[in-house]
Amino acid sequence: MRTAVRRSVSGLPREFWWLWTSTLINRLGSFVSTFLALYLVVERGCSASFAGMVAALHGLGGVISSIGSGVLTDRLGRRPTLLVAQTSTAFSVALLGFMQHPAAIAAVAFVVGMASNASRPAVQAMMADIVAPQDRVRAFALNYWAINLGFAFSSLAAGLIAEHSYLIGFLAEGTMTLACAVLVFLKLPESRPEQAASGAAAAEPAVGMGTVLRDRRYMSVVGLSFLIALIFQQSSVALPVAMGGNGFSSSDYGMVIAVNGVLIVALQIPVTRFIEHRDPQRLLVLSALLAGYGFGLTAFAGSIAVYALTVCVWTVAEIVNSPTQMGLVVRLSPVHGRGRYQGVYTLSWSVAALVAPLAGGTVIDRFGAATLWAGCAVVGSVAAAGYWLLMRGLPAAGPVDGPVAAPEPERIAG
């Protein structure tokens, strides 16, 4: 096991590990997203509909910032965008804890959604810049592992913090996010490749948002990512609603969904070691089928054990899909347009986070939960066919991988 771990983490640059550490700290402190709805209903006495509206505004902020932060990542650079996003998140989250009026709460929640989502394109573009092409799947998997490890901790800690003081949670998240900004300022150099760094880069045409939207193959990836995200997002709203309708309690749902986090933390690194040099077309097709039919099996669940089994199936899909799809996204992104391309990719998940709860709830109310789970199987099959068609004829490697940006040691200290 020691050898396997060493092989999983070896060969990655120092800058990657500072970026990884920043991600872990950020997720360790993500308390507010866990208890926000409970805070509004229990602490502030707001209605459930108002809590839902605030959650929607938070998500809408993320949708808007996905595009804007992608453009800033290319124009200003990865490091300045990260610093602005993390500093803004730190202060807006802390401010949210002091808001009293419902309109003020809603407005600041919208700002928090914009700020917190703005760092994602910059993180992903920087990771693509500093990690060699052959190591990117492994690097994205390690980053995804850190996200889930941090979220598992913060979900447990959020409940304990909320029992004492919600304000402590807001301030703690703000403090830890600010610590991420300080770490980026002190330890991470700018990684954006210079236009004149090589002949290939110099010859690369200018990249605008229109370039991304006209890139048919890439936008097909974004569309397929949206379908996959629609499936996975059913775990946060449709699954607990369906379990409640079958007589299961919230604690039962907590036990079932905890399987997802435990499996990701336990299996992400060894599974990535197994898949990182395998055919991405087959991996993406397989992950889409496992996601669709994993949720589809929920229609037959009648006990905690069977629900947990379905979670195991689609969690394996998540473990395989995330690093593989991120590797494909980077592979199809031109070096000097990575920020915009990553922003549009992030948009697919942000939009899915808005659409999935509405679609899932509507289908359950009108047609029943079994229809929703069958629909997940259909969507997974469509996504699998899409990946198979999309990647036919795609070269094994190409210039879109681009050179790895050389680190700038003299700028590490800021």
For 55-67, the DSSP string reads HHHHHHHHHHHHH
224 and 326 belong to one structural domain: yes
217 and 166 belong to one structural domain: no
Cβ atoms of 126 and 120 within 8 Å: the answer is no
Residue 408 lies in a domain: no
21 and 136 belong to one structural domain: yes
65 and 38 belong to one structural domain: yes
Residue 279 lies in a domain: yes
186 and 251 belong to one structural domain: no
Report the alpha-carbon distance of residue 414 to residue 409 in Å, rounded. 10
284 and 388 belong to one structural domain: yes
179 and 38 belong to one structural domain: yes
> Looking at residue 178, which CATH number applies to its domain?
1.20.1250.20
Residue 306 lies in a domain: yes
Instruction: Write down the residue that tokens 């760092």 correspond to.
Output: 119
264 class by beta-carbon count within 10 Å (0-12 exposed, 13-18 middle, 19+ buried): buried
Residue 10 lies in a domain: no
Residue 4 lies in a domain: no
34 and 137 belong to one structural domain: yes
Check residue 1 and give its pLDDT: 58
161 and 46 belong to one structural domain: yes
180 and 314 belong to one structural domain: no
185 and 332 belong to one structural domain: no
Check residue 360 and give its pLDDT: 84
Report the alpha-carbon distance of residue 24 to residue 180 in Å, rounded. 9
Domain count, the chain: 2
Check residue 250 and give its pLDDT: 67
Check residue 3 and give its pLDDT: 66
Instruction: Write down the residue that tokens 């991405």 correspond to.
Output: 280
Residue 218 lies in a domain: yes
Q: Which range marks the domain in which residue 123 is found? A: 15-191
**C-alpha distances in angstroms, 289 versus 173, 293, 308, 383, 387?**
37, 6, 18, 8, 11
Check residue 396 and give its pLDDT: 56
Angle, helices 102-130/48-75, rounded to nearest 10 degrees? 40
Residue 2 lies in a domain: no
Report the alpha-carbon distance of residue 349 to residue 344 in Å, rounded. 9
Check residue 205 and give its pLDDT: 62
Residue 199 lies in a domain: no
Check residue 203 and give its pLDDT: 52
Check residue 151 and give its pLDDT: 78
173 and 245 belong to one structural domain: no
Cβ atoms of 227 and 383 within 8 Å: the answer is yes
Q: Which residue stretches of the chain have pLDDT < 70?
A: 1-8, 34, 48, 195-205, 250, 393, 395-414
Check residue 92 and give its pLDDT: 95
pTM of the entire predicted model: 0.75
Check residue 358 and give its pLDDT: 78
